[in-house]
Amino acid sequence: MTAPTDTAAPARAVKSRTLHSSDMRNMLFVAPFLIAYLVLLVYPLFYGMWISLQRYDLFDLSAEFAGLENYARLLDDDIFLGALRNTFLFVAMTVPIFVGLGLALALALNKRTRAATIMRAIFFGTSVLSVTIVTIVWKVVLMPTTGIVGAAADVLGTEPISMLSHPDLALVAVAMATVWWVLGLPMILFLAALQQIPQDLYEAAALDNAGRWTTLRKITLPSIRRTFVVVTIYQVVAQFQLFGQSLLMTGGGPNNRSRSIVQFVYEQGFKTWDVGYAAAASEVLFLIIAVVAIAQYAYSIRGQGQ
């Protein structure tokens, strides 16, 4: 009598080789992204942390370990503390507008009409402009003599205000330009989320004689909660990185009242060559953004009961 042959072992070996080959192919597809992620994001992050602990001069590339000296200097630097205040104030001014007005526009333009399509294109069109074009447009608009502000002042019979040179209004002017520039993006994100809501839900609500406010509160807003979180976190991260608008519109003035943290980092690193000090300021900004984004995400998850 011949012994029974074990056919399961060769089958398992073939299956194992197939899975191994599939894993290798998947790794080859992921490898370019992983390499780019490590080289362009992870490595600069840790290298910046190392530089922030050095007395690093960009002019002669000399480095000397300084410990936490650069961070201690930041605490005594009135210009940095002012930039920190300006950045927080800018985020507080712009993010609620981006989220609230972006959602309102999305709700108003979530229609299949030619007028709604044109308005969506107009609002989103500004988002593709460069920061240089945006700042030029708004510097012309805000000119106290020949701009729209000056014309409005003449109509109202009041003295025109030079917002870009006013200590209390310069940052407001930068915020206005930024909202005009970026508002189309959150609007489009909210529109995409609204169009994913099943129409059956609205039909059921109509059968129950639910009003617009009830439908908005019970169906629309809960259905786009995740998009709401994404838009909020994205805008918080983006607006903390204010740079081009303030640099080109006001230069950080007057009296440093519109200088941002990123502009401070730029000036310390590429004007005074104090790279270690600039790196310390950038690490503080990174920590602030990370804490705020994580806190916002955790709060949203807790609100969903997940």
Would 22 be classed as within a structural domain?
A: no
Instruction: Note the pTM of the prediction, 2 decimals.
Output: 0.85
Q: Is the dihedral of CA 175, 178, 184, 188 positive or negative?
A: negative
CB 174 within 8 A of CB 258: yes
Q: What pLDDT, on the 0 to 100 scale, is given for residue 7?
A: 54
Strand, helix or coil for residue 106: helix
CB 169 within 8 A of CB 161: yes
Q: How confident is the model at residue 232 (pLDDT cuts 50, 70, 90)?
A: very high
Place of tokens 């509160």: 217
Q: What pLDDT, on the 0 to 100 scale, is given for residue 169?
A: 92
CB 224 within 8 A of CB 232: no
Would 33 be classed as within a structural domain?
A: no
CATH number at residue 297: 1.10.3720.10
Q: What pLDDT, on the 0 to 100 scale, is given for residue 1?
A: 47
Would 200 be classed as within a structural domain?
A: yes
Task: Say how many domains are in the chain.
Answer: 1
Higher-pLDDT residue of 204, 2:
204
pLDDT at 211 over 70: yes
Would 204 be classed as within a structural domain?
A: yes
Would 38 be classed as within a structural domain?
A: no
Provide the H-helix boundaries in the chain. 8-37, 43-52, 69-75, 78-108, 114-125, 131-141, 148-156, 170-182, 184-194, 199-207, 212-215, 221-223, 225-240, 244-249, 261-270, 275-303
pLDDT at 4 over 70: no
Q: CA-CA distance, 76 to 277, in Å (whole number)? A: 13
Least confident piece of the model among 227-236, 238-247, 269-278, 291-300 = 291-300
Q: What is the mean pLDDT of residues 180-195?
A: 94
Q: What pLDDT, on the 0 to 100 scale, is given for residue 199?
A: 86
Q: What pLDDT, on the 0 to 100 scale, is given for residue 191?
A: 94
Read off the pLDDT of residues 20-29 as tens digits, 9 standing for 90 and up: 667 777 788 8
Would 124 be classed as within a structural domain?
A: yes
Would 91 be classed as within a structural domain?
A: yes
Would 49 be classed as within a structural domain?
A: no
Domain around 265: 69-303
